[in-house]
């Protein structure tokens, strides 16, 4: 029996080895080893509270929590059935290195024992770890766009005036302002909307760091839209300059008109901005003078200036010394007016030619010429002066009126004798 077992032992061993080889070959042919790659595999960070509970925050650098390629090698029947969801990539933050990197651990959630190898294109997650900082900031507003022509943005109010931000100290420190942005393009009436809060650094660049958290992301905003209107400035004066001086009538201002804003129902009633006379008092003035006037004090209720730079204006009142002018007149140019029927009148007491001297401002005297002057004696004035109910014959001394402009007067009055007599039938 023993001889039978040992007979041709070498051949028998060769047969066994050959059978194994045949089996391996058959297996290899039927279910060969292969590899398969998966792309952009996310890494799950574990135990991150090891950082956050110590008052710090972390930031993943260089997108290192995503593995660009993972290659799995194993039997074709196993590998071919796998998908990206079967790849489990984790990084335990509690095992962070001194370089702030965390090793990535790879596994599969099916057929783990049949996988020959799992090879990633990267094997660490890189972190930036900073102290956490919280800052409370005043919330501002920012308008974008343009309202329709003839309108402007008025008051802007928000239902919150503070925003609290938290995140990496370096990022939070860089934030200098928080604003709610509102678009007003084309609006002609008040706006009520919800506006997103945006963060900016000192240079006006947006801070959009995903590691920043805010206690509020948006606020409700009310924007008042006001109509605009251009109106003239009207200046009133009072008082009389020192004797011998006169007001030329010229009031000069560095602005002739201003643009105001308000609700249309208010603006339609406003045609000008009137400056009261007491601000431009000429009493006892003997020279041109200038006053600074704050227009804001004289705006109607619920009306504003569009440009506050226009709020204070300089107003100049022109005062000049009076001058005199001599004019030659003829007696024949003196007439009696309002003479009742039945009477005749004659004038005497002046030379055939005589001189009158008039006083006034140069601009007014330039218009007074002998050719345009007529002397008159009004019988109504005569009867009033002498308290006559009916005109009577006699000789009466009266002042002659020359119809001078309001701002021109005689240096000395001209008196004549008027002889009134009844007509002879």
Token pair in block for residue 31? 């279910």
Q: Of 307 and 25, which is predicted with more confidence?
A: 307
pLDDT in tens, 119-165: 999 999 999 999 999 999 999 999 999 999 999 999 999 999 999 99
Instruction: Decide if pLDDT at 340 tops 90.
Output: yes
Q: Give CA–CA dist 354/330, Å, rounded.
A: 6
Helix (H) or strand (E) holding 281: none
Q: What is the pLDDT of residue 334?
A: 94
> 71 Cβ partners below 8 Å, 6+ apart?
35, 36, 37, 38, 118, 119, 120
Give pLDDT tens digits for 264-303: 999 999 999 999 999 999 999 999 999 999 999 999 999 9
Cα–Cα distance for residue pair 24/27, rounded to 1 Å: 5
Residue 315 pLDDT exceeds 80: yes
- How many of the other CB atoms lie within 10 Å of CB of 261? 23
Q: Number of helices (H) and strands (E) in the chain: give both, helices first.
A: 8, 28
Q: Is the pLDDT of residue 5 over 60?
A: no
Q: How much is the pLDDT for 24?
A: 52
pLDDT at 111 over 80: yes
Whether 311 and 379 have beta carbons less than 8 Å apart is answered as no
* pLDDT of res. 407: 87
Question: Which of 9-23, 158-172, 395-409 has the least mean pLDDT?
Answer: 9-23
Calculate mean pLDDT across residues 367-382: 92
Residue whose structure tokens are 């308000």: 262
Cα(105)–Cα(89) distance, rounded to whole angstroms? Answer: 6
């Amino acid at each position: 029996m023993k001889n039978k077992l040992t007979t041709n032992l070498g051949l028998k061993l060769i047969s066994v080895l050959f059978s194994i080889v045949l089996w391996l070959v058959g297996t290899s042919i039927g279910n060969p080893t292969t590899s398969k790659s998966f792309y952009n595999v996310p890494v799950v960070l574990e135990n991150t509270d090891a950082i956050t509970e110590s008052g710090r925050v972390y930031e993943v650098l260089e997108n290192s929590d995503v593995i660009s390629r993972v290659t799995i090698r194993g039997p074709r029947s196993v590998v071919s059935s796998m998908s990206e969801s079967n790849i489990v990539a984790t990084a335990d933050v509690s095992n962070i290195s001194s370089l702030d990197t965390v090793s990535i651990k790879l596994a599969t959630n099916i057929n783990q024992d049949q996988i020959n190898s799992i090879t990633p294109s990267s094997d660490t997650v890189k972190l930036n770890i900073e102290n956490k900082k919280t800052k409370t900031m005043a919330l501002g507003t920012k308008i974008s766009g343009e309202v329709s022509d003839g309108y402007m943005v008025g008051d802007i109010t928000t239902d919150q005036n503070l925003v609290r931000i938290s995140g990496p100290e370096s990022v939070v420190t860089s934030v200098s302002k928080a604003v709610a942005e509102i678009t007003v393009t084309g609006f002609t009436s008040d706006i009520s909307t919800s506006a997103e809060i945006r963060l900016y650094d000192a240079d006006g660049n947006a801070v959009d760091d995903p590691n920043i958290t805010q206690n509020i992301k948006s606020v409700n905003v009310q924007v008042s839209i006001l109509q605009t209107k251009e109106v003239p400035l009207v200046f009133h004066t009072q008082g009389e300059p020192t004797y011998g001086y006169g007001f030329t009538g010229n009031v000069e201002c560095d602005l002739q008109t201003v643009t105001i804003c308000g609700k249309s129902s208010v603006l339609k009633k406003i045609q000008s901005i009137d400056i009261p006379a007491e601000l431009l008092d000429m009493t006892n003035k003997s020279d041109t003078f200038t006053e600074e006037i704050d227009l804001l004090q004289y705006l109607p209720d619920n009306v504003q200036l569009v440009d506050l730079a226009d709020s204070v204006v300089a107003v100049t009142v022109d005062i000049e010394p009076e001058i005199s002018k001599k004019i030659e007149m003829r007696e024949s140019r003196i007439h009696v007016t309002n003479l009742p029927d039945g009477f005749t009148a004659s004038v005497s007491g002046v030379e055939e030619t005589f001189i009158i001297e008039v006083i006034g401002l140069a601009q007014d005297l330039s218009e007074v010429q002998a050719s345009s002057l007529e002397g008159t004696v009004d019988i109504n004035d005569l009867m009033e002066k002498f308290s006559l109910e009916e005109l009577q014959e006699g000789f009466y001394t009266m002042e002659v009126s020359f119809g001078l402009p309001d701002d021109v007067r005689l240096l000395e009055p001209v008196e004549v004798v008027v002889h009134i007599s009844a007509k002879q039938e």
